[in-house]
Structure 1
């Protein structure tokens, strides 16, 4: 199995790195490129980061895999993965929901009106979306969602609640899943809508997590939406949600943040003294670092398998589950190792002037558990592996 990238792909990586180097000269670069924000580093949640996205759009990086008829370049999805790999390496915002699940779904299933309204804005990085899937009683079991959409004239009246909606506090539009047929089986009767986030019937309540990541609960009270903003066919939303996962497979599982975190850990032990001796000279620490280096290579190979399977036109559900399970837990093990090496110094918050490496490791220790929950919990990944790869029965 050859994991090397081709000549054109390697040249694309060079071009992206040159673009990033140019952007690093801007006055707002520290805001744009901030890997210490962990999960939040992928978001376009500040004016500086939105400016950066528009610069990416001008460079032609938005919608590269889209058909030419819709303003794209019809390039293989691997290029979007390579772009996000380099962006995530420096903690810059990724091309994400707009280009991926929203844009691709509209191209395949959206009306001409929705395509004309939203696709040009996505290509110009002029619009941000939030995904309204999870509810208080419908998390990993998304098909159990209960937010109601009832027929009202030439549209729908929506009522209910969503939970843990990342981006709701700065997004322009809500990509919302609602139940349009309560009598149908739970995977049926679900539809997708587009709602403006500034609708008066939408109330957003921020929730700050342990790692200072801001997510939101969203209340939908008597929000009327026209049939024009129903995405695709009524009651076919579950299919579109599942397809969206395929669109993201090239871009979601980036390896570079793990590699950069390991490199920072190496820098830490080489430059930190304890009782006049470098941490790197401690045999126990050297042993731990050797193990982590081996685990890093394992994570890299798991991630490359996701890309390899996807590049053949297959859905890498097992490979993606293995990669997500292993890599997110490795992020935690790296942070835990740093805390162990530093001892009581590692507990210093980033706001403390004496915190090692600006408090990176204490922050990372608090932030990394989120990654084992978002985009499918660790338990869900284990279930996928057990059921699809090992063919083991699920417990009920």
Structure 2
């Protein structure tokens, strides 16, 4: 199978790379381009990064795959993927929730009011969203969520809790899945709402992870919202959630950060020394790095399968699960091997005297553990492949 991109697509990528080179000359480049932040480098979580996204919007890079009537350019979704691949490869924030799952769901199912209010703000990069899906006891089994939305007069009132909402502390709006019919089967009684993050009934509490990544738990206490902020039809939210996740196939499955990590390992082997000689002279080290090179190529091919299936209009559920499982595990193995190569000094954190490479490998070793959990844990991905790809566990 030929996974090569077309000449037009490669010309677009070259032009965008040149655009990013100009951005790197700006005064905020060290904040905007920060691959050492691992997965957090994707977030638009600072004024500098918001400014960068606004400039991307002004340059016409936001919403390229949207229909022209909504301000887009009707380009194939692969252009959104190429954009995010390059952004993530350089440690810059990526376009994601607003343009992808939220914007396209509003286009497909939202009222005229929601389209008029939110779509222009998304295209202008004036707004950031948080996703409210997971709950205590409803992570891998999202349809078991219990956040309750009750209709009281002309309003909806939400009570309950969400977990693992990464963007809650800097987002403007909350895209929330809530149960609106507790008597219906668990996949049938869910609706999606838009809630302003500054609502007085919301309480946001930080959750610190071992990878220095901040996520949050969010508590809803009599959070009242008007009927206009129900997305689409009542009790049709499960379909919208599944469609929204599908919209992200082009955007989230980039391989660039993994390639950067592998290249950093190669550089480590060249400069780190053992018994007065570079690690790269050790045949055992060279052999292991060669294995990693093969695995990186495998990850790239798995990622290309996700894109290839999505381009054909199919849903790459199994392909995405395979890539997520393999790539995050590979990132974990590379970081762990780097620590092994550095020896005891590799355990020194950033800021510690004598920490090799500024302690970034120590941080990467912790952060890659979080990567295997976020966005669906390794165990969840295995179950998807077993059930949907191999036909196993049917009825289990």
Could you tell me the TM-score, scaled by structure 1's length?
Answer: 0.99
Where do residues 153-302 of structure 1 align in structure 2 (5 Å cutoff)?
Answer: 153-302=153-302
Report the count of equivalent residues: 396
Q: Residue in 1 aligned with 2:82?
A: 82
Q: Supply the distance in 1 between the matched residues of 2:371 and 2:114 (Cα, whole angstroms).
A: 32
How far off is 1:221 after superposition?
0.2
How far off is 1:395 after superposition?
7.8
Instruction: Say whether the 8 Å CA contact 1:206–1:217 is kept in structure 2.
Output: yes
Q: Residue in 1 aligned with 2:338?
A: 338
How far off is 1:214 after superposition?
0.3
Q: Residue in 2 aligned with 1:50?
A: 50
Q: Residue in 1 aligned with 2:105?
A: 105
Q: Residue in 2 aligned with 1:124?
A: 124
Instruction: Say whether the 8 Å CA contact 1:302–1:323 is kept in structure 2.
Output: yes
Question: Residues 347-373 of structure 1: CA distance to partner in whole angstroms, max 9, x if unpaired?
Answer: 010112422111111000000111111
Instruction: Say whether the 8 Å CA contact 1:383–1:394 is kept in structure 2.
Output: no
Question: Residues 311-347 of structure 1: CA distance to partner in whole angstroms, max 9, x if unpaired?
Answer: 1111111111111110000000100110010001110
Q: Residue in 2 aligned with 1:67?
A: 67
Q: Supply the distance in 2 between the matched residues of 1:70 and 1:353 (Cα, whole angstroms).
A: 54
1:250 aligns to what SS in structure 2?
Answer: helix
Q: Supply the distance in 1 between the matched residues of 2:353 and 2:121 (Cα, whole angstroms).
A: 42
Where do residues 319-330 of structure 1 align in structure 2 (5 Å cutoff)?
Answer: 319-330=319-330
Q: Supply the distance in 2 between the matched residues of 1:171 and 1:282 (Cα, whole angstroms).
A: 48
Q: Residue in 1 aligned with 2:19?
A: 19
2:251 aligns to what SS in structure 1?
Answer: coil
Question: Residues 136-180 of structure 1: CA distance to partner in whole angstroms, max 9, x if unpaired?
Answer: 111110000001111111111110000110100000000011100
1:383 and 2:383 matched:
yes
How far off is 1:189 after superposition?
0.9
Q: Supply the distance in 2 between the matched residues of 1:48 and 1:282 (Cα, whole angstroms).
A: 43
How far off is 1:376 after superposition?
1.1
Q: Supply the distance in 1 between the matched residues of 2:271 and 2:313 (Cα, whole angstroms).
A: 46
**Residues 1:394 and 1:36: Cα distance change in structure 2 (over 3 Å):** farther
Gaps of 5+ in 2: none
Gaps of 5+ in 1: none
How far off is 1:283 after superposition?
1.4
**Residues 1:395 and 1:31: Cα distance change in structure 2 (over 3 Å):** farther
Instruction: Say whether the 8 Å CA contact 1:335–1:365 is kept in structure 2.
Output: yes
Structure 1 stretches of 4+ moved >2 Å: none
Q: Supply the distance in 2 between the matched residues of 1:355 and 1:14 (Cα, whole angstroms).
A: 37
How far off is 1:394 after superposition?
5.0
Could you tell me the TM-score, scaled by structure 2's length?
Answer: 0.99
2:166 aligns to what SS in structure 1?
Answer: coil
Q: Residue in 1 aligned with 2:351?
A: 351
Question: Residues 7-60 of structure 1: CA distance to partner in whole angstroms, max 9, x if unpaired?
Answer: 110011101111111111111111111111111110000111101100110111
Q: Residue in 2 aligned with 1:41?
A: 41
Q: Supply the distance in 2 between the matched residues of 1:177 and 1:308 (Cα, whole angstroms).
A: 30
Question: Residues 64-110 of structure 1: CA distance to partner in whole angstroms, max 9, x if unpaired?
Answer: 01000000001000000000000000110000100011100000000
Instruction: Say whether the 8 Å CA contact 1:211–1:363 is kept in structure 2.
Output: yes
Q: Supply the distance in 1 between the matched residues of 2:353 and 2:314 (Cα, whole angstroms).
A: 50
Question: Residues 367-386 of structure 1: CA distance to partner in whole angstroms, max 9, x if unpaired?
Answer: 01111111111111111111
